[in-house]
Structure 1
Amino acid sequence: MSVIPLDLASDAVVLPAPQLPSQASLHQTLRGRRSTRSFRPDPVSLATLSALLWAACGINREQTGGRTAPSARGWKEVDIYAVLPEGAYRYEPEAHRLALVSAQDLRGATGVQDFVGAAPLNLVYVAHLDRMVEAALEDRPFLAGTDTGFIAQNVYLCCAAMGLGTVVRAMIDRRGLAKALQLPANQRITLAQTVGWEAPGP
């Protein structure tokens, strides 16, 4: 089953309303949070992708546009790119949809470890440094990295609640991936995170 329909007439994919498992307690979720680097190739469903992205930094307060992850001074400078076999998409939290960036399979470009190219989903976190008004230039990478950490932890907890495996990664050819994602010079890749169903051990 494909995550994204291949016969889209539009470059935008409206995601279904996010549905997270209600039976998982905070205690169970924290006990289940861990990293894994072994993934089955089975695709992640569109419903699961919707829940993951909403948990990462979706809108949880419609009146104010507040997000599930905090952001320094409300800059909301970190964008999420979902890199799938069907292509690379930028998540748009306000509309809860995906915008096509590349129709190529760029999973292998999201990191240097062998498993990233075969895992069904890689999330790439990209900071818009020019959104960070009134912050000193030398402080912006640190603050963007901190905000990325909040988002990545939300994904960890969502994966634990949904029975998915995940690992956050810093080993990235940032220049090559930025070119593949067509990022302008004022945007920086902070981290990547692989998500999928954990493969059984030997």
Structure 2
Amino acid sequence: MPGFASAEAVRPISLPPPRTEGGVSLRAALQKRRSIREFSDRPLPLALLSDLLWAAYGINRPESGDRTAPCWRHQVVIDIYVALPDGAWLYAPKEHELQPHVAGDLRAATGMQDFVGQAPLNLVYVAQGDQMGKIAEEERRLWANVDTGFIAQNVYLLAAAEGLATVFRASVPRQQLAASLKLSGEQFITAAQTVGYPRS
């Protein structure tokens, strides 16, 4: 991944087409699925990052724009921010690309455990509260968390299939991270997930 000094100075990164065939069976991935908290600092190849993001919440039905994970009331309200060593990027499923968002290494800021800063990738799940209609704040958070769980499980299964380590994390410094990501007042962080190669 190229480093960048400012989000304005960098173009989006087009991801290679995801592999949608082959690989291990669903049953094999379920057998291997587990949480792992020890990571190598080895970077993920761009092709594997492409597969991972598509599996998480990519578009699997281009004619309708529907995703690989279900969503509340058929409304897409979750965004995935991708924290890499060179900055935070926003995954754009329609274009299947990474759009520059914030410069600087925010990986350590995505959690409270030491490993988050060493792993090559942290996914931050952010809900667009203003797109959820006039429902109570408690309901917004409930349904946003449900949608996040679907996405995170897809990440778990792809990680298991590819021999990657991952762990879903609810312990996130939400206010500080929201400020670092320059989120609006209507956006809120639901959770984060660390991904990388397991430490041998």
The TM-score range, normalised by the shorter chain, is over 0.9
How far off its partner does 1:162 sit? Answer: 0.7
- TM-score by length of structure 1 reads 0.93
Give distance in 1, aligned partners of 2:115 and 2:103: 21
CA displacement, residues 99-154 of structure 1 (integer Å, 9 cap, x when unaligned): 11112000000001010001000000000011112544331100000000000000
Please tell me whether the aligned partners of residues 88 and 103 of structure 1 are also in contact (alpha carbons under 8 angstroms).
yes
Structure 2 unaligned blocks of 5 or more: none
Give identity over the alignment, percent: 52
Task: For 2:51, give the aligned amino acid.
Answer: A
Match of 1:25 in 2: 25
- Asked if the contact 1:120–1:195 (Cα under 8 Å) also holds between the matched residues in 2, the reply is yes
CA contact (8 A) 2:61 2:67 kept: yes
Contact 2:164 2:197 (8 Å CA) reproduced = yes
Output the CA distance in 1 between the equivalents of 2:97 and 2:23: 26
Provide the TM-score with structure 2 as the length reference: 0.94
Q: May I ask how many residue pairs the two structures share in their alignment?
A: 197
3-state DSSP of counterpart to 2:88? strand
Counterpart code for 2:67: R
Whether the 8 Å contact between 1:169 and 1:193 is mirrored in structure 2 is: yes
Q: Distance in 1 between matches of 2:76 and 2:104?
A: 27
Amino acid at match of 1:93: P
Name the SS for the 1:198 alignment partner.
coil
C-alpha change, 1:96 and 1:139, in structure 2 (3 Å) is same
Moved over 6 A (4+): none
Where does residue 74 of structure 2 map in the other structure? Answer: 74
CA RMSD of aligned residues (A): 1.5
Residues 1:192 and 2:189 aligned together: no
Aligned 8 A contact 1:59 1:93 in 2: yes
In 2, the alpha carbon distance for the partners of 1:153 and 1:28 equals 15
* Unmatched tracts of structure 1, length 5 or more: none
Partner of 1:5: 2
